[in-house]
Amino acid sequence: MLVYLGRPAATPAPARAPELQEHEPVEDVPVVESSLDRGLRDIRRNDRGFDPSRFVGYIGMVFRMAQRAWMSGDLESLRDRLTPEMYDAMHAERTRLVGAGRVNVVGDIDITAMVTEAWQERERDYLTAHIRGSIIDYTVDEAAGTIVAGSKTIPRDVEEFWTFARPAGLNFWMLSAIQT
């Protein structure tokens, strides 16, 4: 999985004629801290060991768990990984799908995640990750046994932003929003 820490890549200085290099003063270019860098710094203030590269592994795990739970209807298995509001929203959508006589089938998940935002607000930590890749995803009408959306064989592209939240400090991250 990919990790972006928001630091600008080092750019080599343009070449100068040798006689100019000795006589011209070299200016220090200030390093501009990105909002992602500031957010990660703030999060690390209370969680010194926080590592975005490890966090993307957690994101991938939660993404796969969420897909399995959604497909099986076992949203309860996600309760400790979702904020109460996210759990309620997923439960309502799952209930709507089942009430319509539909079943969602998911497989062949191939995704990467990249931390794109980090911030603190009201003594809570927040991180947003850009998730992209592909997934087999289709919906079946249970009564007819026919596919009503998606494909069993053609993966669909995934591009979503998942936001995780927790009380600031050494606390458990929970999925709080999904933006597609």
Q: State the pLDDT at residue 16.
A: 44
Residue 5 placed within a domain: no
Does residue 26 lie within any of the structural domains? no
46 within a domain of the structure (yes/no): yes
pLDDT digits (tens, 9 = 90+) for 81-96: 999 999 999 999 999 9
Token couple for 166: 């927790």
Is residue 73, in this structure, part of any structural domain at all? yes
Is position 18 within any domain? no
Helices (H), the chain: 18-21, 35-46, 52-72, 84-99
pLDDT in tens, 63-118: 999 999 999 999 999 999 999 999 999 999 999 999 999 999 999 999 999 999 99
Query: Is position 101 within any domain?
Result: yes
Number of domains in the chain: 1
Range of the domain at 53: 33-179
Q: What is the pTM of this model?
A: 0.79
Q: Quick check: is 9 in a domain?
A: no
Percent of the chain whose pLDDT exceeds 70: 83
CB proximity list for 111: less than 8 A, separation 6 or greater: 60, 63, 131, 132, 133, 134, 135, 158
27 within some domain? no
CATH code of 37's domain: 3.10.450.240
Report the alpha-carbon distance of residue 131 to residue 7 in Å, rounded: 20
